[in-house]
Every structure is written in structure tokens, then in C-alpha cells.
Structure 1
Amino acid sequence: MPGEATGLALGLPLPPSAGKKRISLLVDLGHVASIARPPLLRQARAYAPLNWWSTLDRLDALALRHAVNVRVFGSLAWQSLTGLDYVSNRSDLDVLLEFQGETDIDRFVAEVAAIEADAPMRLDGELMGADGDAVNWREVHGGASELLVKSIERVALLGRHQFISGAMGS
């Protein structure tokens, strides 16, 4: 909009030891050194609490069987990226589940739910197709006929088949 500052808007959480405050920044694009995808689950595992490891291993094995990449965001991502203590005993595991066209989504989310049932933490996150469209995995698991699908350009209600087949981008 006219008169608004330009740049890359960032929101950074401080670790719990610093009060979990949120900092908002506007960074000039010329000062951005790199852009990277969120860490893979298997890369972040070493930074997770030991009592999470079994769940992380089960989730990683499930993803491998279904050709899904599992990335983390939230407290585990921040902890793995900074080395600071972000994960607490109340933390959930925030995951980005990147699936391919051949992935059996219904079977996959049913197995994610089974893993969560035995997990020491809540599993939260998004299923994301190759086109970048994403939906909360619980909506798909819950059998909703319409899903709230998010992309970088828009948010839309879409039929589950349309989402799974990647129709939002077309």
C-alpha cells in the first residue's frame, strides 16, 4: 500500500527463558543473506528431548514409507537452528508434511494419528502438496469434505479431492 515500508516482514520468537516475547522486524531484502526451507525432522532430532526420540523416529519411518518429507517449525526448529532452549514440557511438535501425488493421504494421516496417540507431545502441522498448497493434517484426518487450504497467494475452501490432486494451483 502507498506509504508503507517495504521489505521482508519477519516474526521471531524469543526462547522461554527470555519470556517467549515475539519480535517483529522489517528487513531490507538486500540484507537477507540466505533463505532456507525449515529443517528436516531427522536433522532436528538431536535437539529434541530424549522422550520425544521414539515418536520422531516413528514419524520419520512413516514418512519414508509414504515418500513424505517431514520438516519442523516452531519450538524444535528454533532450538535446532539457534542452540537455545525453546522446547519445554508443554511444547508440541510442529511439522510440515510435504507429500507427493502418489501419497495415500488418508492412510498417511491415519498413521500420523496413531503415532500421536502414543506420543509425549501433541503433533500439530500442515500437509503440503508439491504445489505449495497446505492444509492442517487434522482436517484431513477428521474426514472434512471441504478443507481450508492455504498458499502463499491465498486462502480458500476446497474439496478434499481437489486439494489432494493439487487443483488449487490450476
Structure 2
Amino acid sequence: MAEALARHSMVKASTAGWTAVMNRYPELASEPLVANWAHAGRPLVVRRPACSDTAGLVPLGLPLPPSHGKRRIAVSLVAADIVASAPPPLLADAAAAAPEAWQATIEKLVQLLPETRTFGSLAWQHLTGLPYLSDSSDLDLLWPLSSVKQPGTLLSDIAGIAKQAPMRLDGEIVGPTGGVQWRELTGTDADEVLVKGPAGVTTTTRAAFLAGLVS
């Protein structure tokens, strides 16, 4: 797949590609869940590249569920060995995997912006069927700026929902240059915010980011 993949994209590896990953990271072979990851049809997530990553390979990650140590594993893959890619799941689609105590909050969030997507523990439990959620789990969300008519109102509405939620609401508003942690955007227009993009972290002002301007 030649096109650039956005951070948080979910991808699936070919059988041959995953065999190459296991050969490149032989220490992972001792973890059966990881060794069989691609064969079970489970996805990986696109992450930002690290200094140790091999140039020309797609940086990917997978977190193990708490029952397997909650370890975050970083691997990389030849782009040609990615056989499918998709955005992280819509919150509405992942809701069935969430605890009953979360359902009212999720319903409010979906009503607020149906295009809201989720990553983190809820997304992984929804996509893999493995038990990722615990009593201390956050609800990790992505709100696409392109779908937001009034960013300022969205932020105040998220804050209102967060105050009443039984879990911590974490996540980013995602614009053309990357994502900004939503709480950072509740300040003044002149405030500097950190934009997490596919290649690294940049800075811009709150006003420029919410206007969709490229820094």
C-alpha cells in the first residue's frame, strides 16, 4: 500500500509479512498471542516512527491485554505486506464492547458527534475480542475536526459530558496536521498547543489549529 497511513490507522498484515516480523523480532516468538496475531486476523495500529525504526518500513504497534502484561509492542512492516487498512472504529460501532456503566456516556458522545472514533482499550476489545477493559480504563476518543461545525461548542460539550462520566475521557481533536489533546484546546486562541502528526510533534496556536490551518 503506497499511500501514507494516518496515525491511529488499523492495518492487517499478510501471513508472509508477519512471518518476516517474527524473524526480525525473534524475542516475540515466546509470546504465543503475538506469534499468532496476524494469523488470528487481528489488526495493528500505525504509530509515529521512533529513532530505532528501520527507514522505509511502516511503524506499527500492538498493546497486549492486561492478562498478558499490558505490554506495548512496537514492530515495523514492509508496506507491501499490509493487506488492509481502516480508520479506528466508530465509537457507535464499538459501544457493544463497553461496560454497561459506560453506555449512557457513549450515547451522549455519539449524539454529540456521530463521526467520533475510538482507540485504546475499548477499540482493541471491540476489534480483537480479547479482554482489554478494566475498572481503571480511560475512554480514548478521536473527534474529526472536518466534521465539526463549531469547534468551541464541541469542546464545551465534551467537557460537560466528561464531568459526569464514570470514566476519564481522553483523546484528540484531529485536524489536517494531526491531533491535539482535547483539554489543551479549552484555553485561549493564542495558547500554543502540541500537534501530534504522523512524523512527529509540532506546535501551533489553538486558533490556527481549530481553523484547520496547516502550521
TM-score if structure 1 supplies the norm length? Answer: 0.87
Task: Indicate conservation of the 8 Å contact 1:101/1:164, yes or no.
Answer: no
Q: Is 1:138 aligned with 2:188? A: no
**Residue 151 of structure 1, CA deviation:** 2.3
The percentage of counterpart residues that share the same residue type is 43
Question: Where do 1:1-170 residues align within 5 Å?
Answer: 4=54, 6-64=56-114, 69-100=115-146, 103-129=149-175, 131-143=176-188, 145-168=191-214
Gaps of 5+ in 2: 1-50
State whether residues 101 and 165 of structure 1, in contact with CA within 8 Å, keep that contact through their aligned partners in structure 2: no
Shift of 1:89: 0.5
Distance 2:65 2:123 in 1: 12
Please tell me whether the aligned partners of residues 96 and 126 of structure 1 are also in contact (alpha carbons under 8 angstroms).
yes
Cα deviations across residues 14-61 of structure 1 (Å, max 9, x unaligned)? 111111112222222222111110000000000001100000000111
- State the secondary structure of the residue aligned to 1:35: strand
1:66-122 CA-partner distances (Å, limit 9, x unpaired): xxx200000001000001110110000000000227621111111101101111100
Query: Structure 1's 155 and 122: CA in aligned 2 closer, same or farther, altered over 3 A?
Result: same
The residue identity in structure 2 corresponding to 1:123 is L
Report the counterpart of residue 6 of structure 2 in structure 1. Answer: none
- What is the letter of the counterpart of residue 156 of structure 1? T
Check conservation: 1:48, 1:76, Cα contact below 8 A. yes
Q: Do the aligned residues in 1 keep the contact of 2:194 with 2:202 (CA within 8 Å)?
A: yes
Deviation, structure 1 residue 153 = 4.1
RMSD of equivalent CA atoms: 2.1
Question: Distance in 2 between the 1:71 and 1:82 partners?
Answer: 16
Task: Provide the C-alpha distance between the structure 1 equivalents of 2:196 and 2:60, rounded to a whole number of angstroms.
Answer: 19
90-99 vs 145-154, which deviates more?
145-154
Matching residue of 2:5: none
Residue aligned with 2:76, SS: strand
Contact 1:6–1:26 (CA under 8 A) maintained in structure 2: no
Query: Any idea what SS the aligned residue of 1:56 has?
Result: helix
Aligned residue identity for 1:107: T
Distance 1:102 1:20 in 2: 34
Instruction: In structure 2, give the amino acid aligned to 1:93.
Output: L
